[in-house]
Amino acid sequence: MTLPNVFVTRKIPENGLELLRSRAKVRVSDQDRPLTRQELLLAVREADGVIGLLSDRIDAEFFDAASRLRGYANYAVGYDNIDVAEATRRGIPVSNTPDVLTKATAELAWALIFAAARRVVETDGVMRSGLWPGWGPLQFIGADVSGKTLGIVGAGRIGTATAMMSRGFDMRVLYLESPSGRRNPALDDTLGAECVPFDRLLAESDFVSVHCPLTPDTRHLFDMDAFRKMKNSAVLVNTARGPVIKEDDLVRALRSGEIAAAGLDVYENEPRMAEGLAALSNAVLLPHVGSATRSSREAMADLAARNLLAMLSGQKPPTCLNPKVLGLS
């Protein structure tokens, strides 16, 4: 039996590659960076299946180049890089990797909350500089977390996990009402959380943690108008998608004191940042490491591989985004 050809656009943990090699001919990009558009289109020409990253744009041009493609597996939970409708029109199943990185990303949101609130990165820099003169009662005053109000924008898997972790800090929890009006019983019943409109969440939250997907409705959800509705003492954290925040406006808001601080793991134009952001001491800036624990990254590799192998055998992948193309729902 002829084994299918699989292309992996960047090296992933070995456990996923070993699984793929048991049932396919596997070629992995030898570049430890995102492929250029032309490199990607050339590399997928003979592929029956592809595992790619959030940085790979999967659209009509990609599908035209990958004319033999029988399935695409995203090594990410987000999938705004995939034109799912186009894949469905062409009968190509696509998948993502939800659940396996939920706790890791929620934990990182909390790392950013505390780092921004207690000025961890800023004060670490002072200590490393050798210029700290010694303890003083008015130095490096930060914000309390315990007993404050946490606003969750996007109460899905990761947003829910982040909110649940607030129990140890006796926080009041607000979460953004969905367009469908659907509530989150876990947050309602366990935390006594309140489902509120966006403006109220902005006005009452001391910490706002962003976990929503990137859609036309959420792009630039946080702009200067939104920042003006927040408390001047508020901290904004984003572990979701960079373009949910209008980054130039965030720089202005942090410079002017419209909000107190921000903690970011994602950026509007990754890997670039908005001009001036890197110079701000009230911004904690991480290089998209929300899922960067060994167990999470290996679980992502395993799930992506199982998704793709299922597609190549005509079966429903565990986390398919368009199962109807396989005659399933």
User: pLDDT tens across 216-225, in order?
Assistant: 999 999 999 9
Count of helices and strands (H, E) across the chain: 12, 12
Distance, CA of 165 to CA of 65 (rounded, Å): 45
Q: Is 146 in the same domain as 269?
A: yes
Catalytic residue among 23, 172, 219, 288: 288
Beta-ladder partners of 6? 26, 49
Task: Find the angle CA(139)-CA(142)-CA(146) to the nearest 5 degrees.
Answer: 140
**Could you tell me if 308 and 3 are in contact, meaning their C-beta atoms sit under 8 angstroms apart?**
no
- Rounded distance, CA 45 to CA 69, Å? 9
In this structure, are 299 and 204 located in the same domain? Answer: no
State which residues form the domain around 75: 5-98+294-326
Whether residues 188 and 280 fall in one domain? yes
Shared domain for 123 and 60, answered yes or no, is no
6 within 8 A of 16, measured Cβ to Cβ: no
Residue burial 252-266, b: 16+ Cβ < 10 Å; e: rest: bbbeeebbbbbbbbb
Q: Are 168 and 233 found together in one domain?
A: yes
Question: Are 193 and 239 members of one domain?
Answer: yes
pTM of the model: 0.93
List the beta bridge partners of residue 151: 174, 208
Q: What is the pLDDT of residue 203?
A: 98
Co-location of 182 and 258 in the same domain? yes
Q: How far is 38 from 17, CA to CA, in rounded Å?
A: 24
- The CATH number given to whatever domain includes residue 259 is 3.40.50.720
What pLDDT band is residue 182 in, cutting at 50, 70 and 90?
A: confident
Per-residue pLDDT at 146: 98
pLDDT (0 to 100) of residue 328:
59
Quickly list DSSP for 79-136. Answer: -TTB-HHHHHHTT--EE---STTHHHHHHHHHHHHHHHHTTHHHHHHHHHHT------
Based on the residue annotation, tell me whether 37 is a catalytic residue of this protein: no
The verdict on 216 and 117 lying in the same domain is yes
User: Which alpha helices (DSSP H) does the chain contain, by range?
Assistant: 14-21, 37-43, 60-65, 84-89, 102-117, 120-129, 157-164, 185-191, 198-204, 224-229, 247-256, 294-312
State how many domains the chain has.
2
Q: Is 241 a catalytic residue?
A: yes
Shared domain for 169 and 315, answered yes or no, is no
To the nearest whole number, what is the mean pLDDT of the chain?
A: 97
| Exposed/middle/buried for residue 311 (C-beta within 10 Å: 0-12, 13-18, 19+) | buried
Residue range 99-129, pLDDT digits in tens: 999 999 999 999 999 999 999 999 999 999 9
156 has which bridge partners?
Answer: none
198 and 131, same structural domain?
Answer: yes
- Comparing 73-77, 179-183, 323-327, the range with the smallest average pLDDT is 179-183
Q: Are residues 260 and 119 in the same domain?
A: yes
Residue 1 has pLDDT above 80, yes or no: no
Is 220 a known active-site residue?
A: no
| Cα–Cα distance for residue pair 307/313, rounded to 1 Å | 10
- 320 and 276 in one domain? no
Amino acid at 158: I
The pairing of strands 194-196 and 94-95 is: unpaired
The residues pairing with 8 across neighbouring beta strands, listed in sequence order, are: 28, 51
Residue 329 has pLDDT above 60, yes or no: no
Which is the catalytic residue, given 10, 119, 211, 241?
Answer: 241
